[in-house]
Structure formats: C-alpha cells, structure tokens
Amino acid sequence: MDEWYSPREINFNRDQMIWLIEHLEIMRRGEYPPDPQGSRYISVGKRKIKPKAYFEISCQLAGEVDFRLKLTGVDGKLLVAEINNGIDRYEDLDYESQMALNFISGWRRRKNYSQWKADRRRRK
C-alpha cells in the first residue's frame, strides 16, 4: 500500500489497521512513519511549545494496536505474519486473518474475540 495517514486521520478502519501493523515496529520505538511525499508544513514565525512529547502519539497508537491484536490470539499472530510478508489487501488474507482484522478494526475496542466470532457465526 502506498497510503500514508496522519495521526489525525486514524480511525482504525481496516486499511489503516493494515498500515499501522506494517509500521508497528517503528511506532513502538516512538517514531511515526514519515510522509512519503515529504512534509506539507512550512515553518513560519515562532515555534510553538507542544503539550505532548514527540513520540507520544506513535507509542499510543502502537499500544492500542498491540492490545487489540493480543485479544485475537493466534489469529492476530497470523494476521501480523501475513502483513509482514507483504500481503496488504484484505481480500488476499486468510479467513482467520480477515476475522482478526475485522475484530480489531473500528473506533471502539471490542472485548472478547471468541464471543464476537460466535455471535458472527450465529447471525449467518
């Protein structure tokens, strides 16, 4: 994927979750993935003091993704492995990885993966 998302754009949809998992290692180190098109900002005037550390948003996003992945167990590990092996389209993922991705995606965090899967099976 050639996408890039600013921290303000992150709403944890499926494409963004794939992108976040692709960049999870550098985000754990407190670095945000650089914009491939370069910075869009022009420095003018005085520097503003920011209320947060430069690494805070990266670590928060990495922590949220890690927490959600941990809830999915083996399926989440498979999802990470597939994404790290270059699969970046939902349609190309295995069924278990798709289920894990669906579970971790969305603005609100879900609580119980096995219950969520059972509810989805029941609805079908």
Task: Give the span between the Cα atoms of 79 and 106, in whole angstroms.
Answer: 16
Work out the average pLDDT over 64-79. 98
Query: Does residue 2 fall inside a structural domain?
Result: no
> Does residue 85 fall inside a structural domain?
yes
Q: Is residue 71 part of a domain?
A: yes
User: Residue 107: which domain range?
Assistant: 9-35+53-114
Token pair in block for residue 5: 């998302």
Residue 124 resides in a domain: no
| pLDDT on residue 42 | 45
Q: How many DSSP H helices and E strands does the chain contain?
A: 6, 0
Q: Are 102 and 41 in contact (CB under 8 A)?
A: no
User: Is residue 123 in a domain?
Assistant: no
pLDDT band with cut points at 50, 70 and 90 for residue 3: confident
Q: Are 104 and 76 in contact, with CB atoms under 8 Å apart?
A: yes
User: Does residue 40 lie in a domain region?
Assistant: no
Averaged pLDDT for residues 60-78: 97
Number of domains in the chain: 1
Per-residue pLDDT at 44:
47
Q: Find, among 26, 25, 32, the residue nearest to 52 by Cα.
A: 32
Mean pLDDT of 108-119: 94
Distance CA 98, CA 14 (A): 10
- Indicate whether 28 belongs to any domain: yes
Q: For residues 104 and 102, what is the distance between their CA atoms, to the nearest angstrom?
A: 6
Which residues have CB under 8 Å from 79's CB, separation 6+? 21, 69, 72, 93, 96, 97, 100, 101
